[in-house]
Structure 1
Amino acid sequence: MNHSSSPQSPAYWIVVPAAGVGARMGADCPKQYLPLVGKTVIEHTLERLLALPNIAGIYLVLGADDNYWNDLSLAQNNRIQRVAGGAERCDSVLNALEQLFDNASPNDWVLVHDAARPCVHVQSVLHLIEQVKTHPVGGILGVPVSDTLKQVNNSIIDSTVDRRLLWQAQTPQMFRLGLLRDCLQRGLAEGKLITDESSALESYGYQPLMVQGRSDNIKITRPEDLAIAAMLLQQQI
């Protein structure tokens, strides 16, 4: 999968961190392998990403003791490269970026997408790419917060937060390979709190673009999310 690209035409790569165990699901296998409308969660996610045009390759980050992936037919897909995961999501993403560095230019774009977001629309990802490809830093998909938000202290409501400035971050999150790798490396070395790729860049003063996505790009975190995702997928079909 040796795609080198010139600075004039950066390539687009995808990194899918899927090394987590999904503890909040309380299931007997990692959440990305739970059944969802005739497939596993991760198959839905990867099939959508594979449908994107002009993607140079997908780097899938899996736990060292992942015994599920090889049973899936997608494991034979030569556009998907398996990478060993790390302790946290940010370590896993960094592992993929380090491997990607052998095949790619620092100027290439990387889209990092959660394995547990199987309902993402190809159209939304194309919109993200279109909006961000000329941006100096990069950008992410998100939606404006619609619920009323409360600041709470020991179960007591302190105040209502002005939600007009608040957005819910989603994935994909799209950044230049070199910049993202540098910020993750530095952030991990300096013990920064890195909750998503964007936060790694923000902590060094970069200002990514927020691109409006769709509210049905949900992340499967708790058992009830699986039923919601099934409904959404069936509607989308």
Structure 2
Amino acid sequence: MVNEIIDGFIQAIQLIVSLNPEVVGITILTLIVSLTSTFLSALISIPAGAYIYCHDFFGKRLVINIIQTLYALPTVLAGLLLFLLLSHQGPLGFLDFLFTPQGMILAQMILVTPLILGLTITALSGIDKDMRHSILSLGATKFQAVVTLIQEARFAILAAVILGFGRAISEVGAAMIIGGNIRAFPGDFLSGTRVLTTAISLETSQGDFSLAIALGLILLGVAVIVNVGLNMIQSGSLWKNSWNS
């Protein structure tokens, strides 16, 4: 068994170094789906988080509690609910997103949006509350005040976006249900829905350990890059705070 594992790692390295078309296609599709879903989630979550933070309304605490609860939303549950909505009998069946990359992007947005939204509110809550009143007292509009607060908390908000990307790219349940793990046509990676996590699950079940290990190494490499980026952002934030103090 040890020799099989070693041989699997050797073959996996060969697949990566030789830029195996299937490995490259799966990796590119994974990055497209995860980056797009994270970007769209950030466009929604950051302004929404700023609005929730800056406005007092009835049930605000309940809304924040619901958002934080959705951090742990099971991916298979999100996939199931979205499947029912996107099926031909569902209310969103006309979109024809089922078993497409677009449907996978939508599924990942459902998982990522609460995370970025909640962490944006947390990041803004860490700012001195007197700052908002000071900005408004200097004649700034509410919009200008919100933009200034977001700029002040940009390191923490960017860290939230990176964490959202990490959740998106490592997700498997919803991607399997909505995407169907369809193999792409050669040379057209957008024709399939097989991403790194779902491909690893499939290849492992089929006994193709070399391809599964190759894809796993790529996924691990992306995770390392995300972690390094997060640490760099946090270090930059600490450096900025220490410099200002």
Q: Do both proteins adopt the same fold according to a TM-score greater than 0.5, normalized to the shorter chain?
A: no
Query: Based on CA coordinates, which of the two structures has the bigger radius of gyration?
Result: 2
Which structure carries more relative contact order (alpha carbon 8 Å, separation 6+)? Answer: 2
- Which of the pair is proportionally richer in helix? 2
